[in-house]
Chains A and B, each alone.
Chain A
Amino acid sequence: MPARRPTRLAKWLISGPPLLYLLVFFAAPTLIMVLASFRSPGEFGGLAPLVDATGRIDLNVDSYVRFFTEPVFFQVFVKSAWYAALTTVVCLLLAYPLASLIARSGKKHRDLLLLLVILPFWSNFLIRIYAWMIILGPNAALARLVNRVLALFGAQPVPLLFSSFAVLVCLVYVSLPFMVLPLYANLEKHDDALLDAAQDLGANAWQRFWRITFPLSLPGVYAGAALVFIPALGIFAIPDILGGPDDTLIGNLIKQQFLETRDWPFGSVLSIMLTLAALLLAGTAAWIGRRGAGDSRA
């Protein structure tokens, strides 16, 4: 009996609803935003009318010019990228040993450990950030301990809260599961026979890791890095709540433009730049990842 193939109609029926959803809630808003970026800000915030009093269509690149001529915005982008990169590296260093531990533990423990990794998702994102306010607060045990140790060396006490440190700690905290899970998914598939073979062929523990395990885990590393880096690039809630005055990132800037300054065209430009940066990085990661996966297909 020949295999039954879905008809053209069936294909459209199946893929129609999600396609429609994406068109309405993703493509359309993006287009609206692109359009908004070329318009003028309204007198009292928002957007100026598309057709002004003289009947001229008001489209311009003023907001783009502003973005590329005032260096402060580029600096914020660089700072955001730096925070996101640092978060990604710290997450990778913390997640790798954890993921390999989970991948190597027995079935029973493995499920429990995975559950613990995803457990934080069960409580609200903002609540978890506020929890860090308490943990890092000036009267909490952690700050007291740190400052007591600093005092031993004759240093001035430092606040932990409302600092870049607090922002980074919390960024790492919320991002860690997104690094652990793809790494675990990759490491769990590794064939132990390869490590036996490497050892048999003269490789010591470090060589086995560096020449076999790590290169084979690169697709997982890329996936985790993308999942951590891209959201971290646009985050605003964490620097808002835990950051100091210097911790303004792109996310905060965009939020400011829309909610406080009410300069929607410029906010749109910033959003578009952020999206482009994220796309560029995701594309690069996918490209590298595909190359890595091509090499490691068994």
Chain B
Amino acid sequence: MALLDIKGVTRRFGDFTAVDNVSLSIEAGEFFTLLGPSGCGKTTLLRMIAGFDLPDAGRILLNGEDLADRPPELRPVRTVFQSYALFPHMTVEGNVAFPLRMAKVPATERPARIQAALEDVRLVGFDKRYPHELSGGQKQRVAIARALVTHPTMLLLDEPLAALDAKLREELQIELISLQKEVGIAFVYVTHDQTEALALSHRIAVMNRGRVEQLDEPSRIYGFPQTKFVADFIGQCNLYSGPVTANAGGVVTIDVAGLGPVRVAATSSIAPGAGGTVALRPEKTRIAAAAPQDTPDNHYRGTIAALRYMGDVTVYIVETPGGTRIEALLANSQSGRAKFFEVGDTVEMSWSVDAGHFLAE
């Protein structure tokens, strides 16, 4: 039995269906992420788990028990809010003590519990500070300590790092991973940031328009997106659609307007004539000044239309004579040279059949 079972949950606001018949299970000890653009229903789903909102249809079961009749204060789950929601009139100690008081933990036991929670988030010595005396990162740590101090069954995190700057966010991501491993509590993490989701999660549910588009491990979400939306939302992706012209020997050929035939490895029974899409990650392409020596599965000539120099890598936008754009990524690994090509250079693009990923329409 899973720790949390969400069964056919739907939530509507007027004509708008925020969560549309979602079913998923979360296991004990799992770092589970709900990922999607704003308005995809991830926060609504989280609020329903916490009890701040109730499903119009479907059930939410925790350890097999239906939570429908339990208000938030009686659910053994805790939420870490995006705005931290620390009580401004209480010290760090007072904030962390709050759930212990509510749970009627004897006053004699509280100090040790508070210290342990502050140790977990590396905030020892901050007990007497008020929230307005803390930095954003420290506030978030207090919020997490406060949520963990009563040892909940599950921790819900609503974009907890969104308000922090990039450097601090990375630091806290690493800490969150080790913290989750340490406490062993299931984390349900809501974010719209795909790199964050990939870095943190054991499993990710990619949501769009109230539905789960794909639920899988990060590497499979990135490497084998099952829908165009997932391919496009997670990382950068070239998407080429067109009619299938051949399907033989585990290789599907699609005729893409402005590019030509694109060959991609796929175990699909799709018949010629049906529509298909190739999803191709920019880093899986080969970009070179001279034509390749071997005969690659896919080979196109184009000119660099634009580039984005990002320091460690450069993203090149290559335009074929037919007007199709191919995004290619190249690590700036060669010493003595900042980047390989300039705008206007003619380049040879190539990739093998297994570089891309086939999506049937």
Chain A contact residues, CB within 8 Å of chain B: 191, 193-194, 196-204, 207, 211-212, 215-216, 292, 295-298
- Most chain B CB atoms below 10 A, which of A202, A203, A215, A298: A202
Q: List 11 A-B contacts (CB under 8 A).
A: A191-B83, A193-B81, A194-B88, A196-B79, A201-B99, A201-B146, A203-B98, A204-B73, A216-B89, A295-B88, A296-B89
A211: chain B residues at CB < 8 Å are 98
How far does the alpha carbon of A202 sit from the alpha carbon of B88 in the complex, in Å?
A: 18
* 4 tightest A-B CB contacts, nearest first: A202-B102, A197-B85, A201-B99, A193-B85
Name A207's closest neighbour in chain B (CB-CB): B102
> Which of B81, B89, B130, B150 is the one whose CB lies under 8 Å from A197?
B81
Given contacts A193-B85, A199-B71, 19 further A-B contacts (CB under 8 A): A191-B83, A193-B81, A194-B85, A196-B85, A197-B79, A197-B85, A199-B73, A201-B73, A201-B78, A201-B99, A201-B146, A202-B73, A207-B102, A215-B89, A295-B89, A297-B88, A297-B130, A298-B88, A298-B132
| Residue in B52, B73, B88, B102 whose beta carbon sits within 8 Å of that of A216 in the complex | B88
**Contacts of A292 on B, CB cut-off 8 Å?**
89
Residue numbers in A under 8 Å from B85 (CB-CB)? 191, 193-194, 196-197
| Chain A hits for B71, CB < 8 A | 199
Residues in A neighbouring B132, C-beta threshold 8 A: 297-298
Question: Is B131's beta carbon under 8 Å from chain A?
Answer: yes
Name the contact of B78 in the complex, choosing from A193, A200, A212 (C-beta under 8 A). A200
Min CB–CB distance A219 → chain B (angstroms)? 10
Q: Which residue of A lies closest to B131 (CB)?
A: A298
Which listed residue, A200, A201, A207, A295, touches B130 by the CB 8 Å rule? A295
Query: Contact string, B123-162, partner A, CB cutoff 8 A, digits 1/0?
Result: 0000000111000000000000011001000000000000
B50 at the A interface (CB under 8 A): yes
Residue from A198, A200, A201, A296 within 8 A of B88 (CB atoms): A296
Against A, the Cβ 8 Å flags (1 = close, 0 = not) of B68-82 are 000111100011010
Question: What is the 8 Å Cβ interface bit string for chain B, positions 278-302, against chain A (1 contact, 0 not)?
Answer: 0000000000000000000000000
Does any Cβ of A come within 8 Å of B87's Cβ?
A: yes
Distance of A201 Cα from B147 Cα, bound (Å): 7
Cβ of A215: which chain B residues have Cβ within 8 Å of it? Answer: 89
Chain A residues with CB under 8 A of B102: 201-203, 207
Select which of A198, A199, A200, A297 is within 8 A of B87 by beta carbon.
Answer: A198
CB distance from A189 to the nearest CB of B (A): 11
Q: How far is the CA of A200 from the CA of B148 in the complex (A)?
A: 12
Chain A residue nearest to B104 (CB atoms) is: A202
Task: State how many angstroms separate the Cβ of B145 from the closest Cβ of chain A.
Answer: 12
A203-B102, A211-B98, A298-B132 in contact; A196/B81 too (CB < 8 A)? yes
Q: Which residues of B contact A298 (CB under 8 A)?
A: 88, 131-132
Q: How far, in Å, is B156 (CB) from chain A's closest CB?
A: 9
Residue of B nearest to A218 (CB): B89
What does the 1/0 interface line of B101-134 toward A look like (CB < 8 Å)? 0110000000000000000000000000011100
Cβ of A194 and Cβ of B87 under 8 Å apart?
A: yes
The reply to whether B50 and A200 form a contact with Cβ atoms under 8 Å apart is yes
A199 touches B72 (CB 8 A): yes
Residues of B within 8 A of A202 (CB): 73-74, 99, 102-103, 150
Bound-state Cα–Cα, A198 to B89, Å = 13
Closest chain B CB from A83 CB (angstroms) = 32
Query: 1/0 per position for B144-182, CB-CB distance to A under 8 A?
Result: 001100100000000000000000000000000000000
Contact flag A201-B98 (CB < 8 Å), given A196-B52, A296-B88, A298-B131: yes
The answer to whether residues A212 and B87 also contact, given A196-B81, A197-B81, A297-B132 and a CB cut-off of 8 A, is yes
Query: How far apart are the CA atoms of A204 and B74 in the complex, in Å?
Result: 9
Complex Cα distance, B86 from A298, in Å, reads: 9
Which residues does chain A contribute within 8 Å of B103, judged by CB atoms?
202
Whole-angstrom CA separation of A199 from B79 in the bound complex: 10
Instruction: Tell me, in angstroms, the Cα distance from A211 to B98 when the chains sit together.
Output: 9
- CA–CA, A285 and B20, complex, Å: 54
Select from chain B the residue with minimum beta-carbon distance to A202: B102
A78 to chain B, nearest CB (A): 34
Residue numbers in A under 8 Å from B86 (CB-CB) = 197
A193-B81, A193-B83, A297-B132 as given contacts; A200 in contact with B89, CB under 8 Å = no
The CA of A203 and the CA of B102, in the complex, are separated in Å by 6
Please, how many angstroms separate the alpha-carbon atoms of A298 and B139 in the complex? Answer: 11
Closest to A294 in B: B130
- Chain B residues with Cβ below 8 Å from A297 are 88, 130, 132
Contact assessment for A198 and B98 in the assembled complex, using a CB-CB cutoff below 8 Å: yes
Q: How far is the CA of A204 from the CA of B99 in the complex (A)?
A: 11
Q: Which of A199, A204, A215: most chain B CB closer than 10 A?
A: A199
Interfacial chain A residues near B79, Cβ < 8 Å:
196-197, 200
A62→B196 CA distance, assembly (Å):
81
A204: chain B residues at CB < 8 Å are 73
A162 to chain B, nearest CB (A): 46
Contacts of B89 in A (CB 8 A): 215-216, 292, 295-296
Cα distance A193–B52 in the bound complex, in angstroms: 11
Q: Quick one: which of B48-65 are within 8 Å of A by CB?
A: 50, 52
Contact partners of A212 in chain B: CB under 8 A: 87
Shortest beta-carbon distance from B102 to chain A in Å: 3
In the bound complex, CA of A201 to CA of B150 (Å)? 9
- For A193, the chain B residues whose CB sits under 8 A away are 81, 83, 85
Distance in angstroms from B77 CB to nearest chain A CB is: 8
The answer for the CA separation of A20 and B332 in the assembled complex, in Å, is: 72
Which residues from B are CB-within-8-Å of A200?
A: 50, 52, 72-73, 78-79, 147
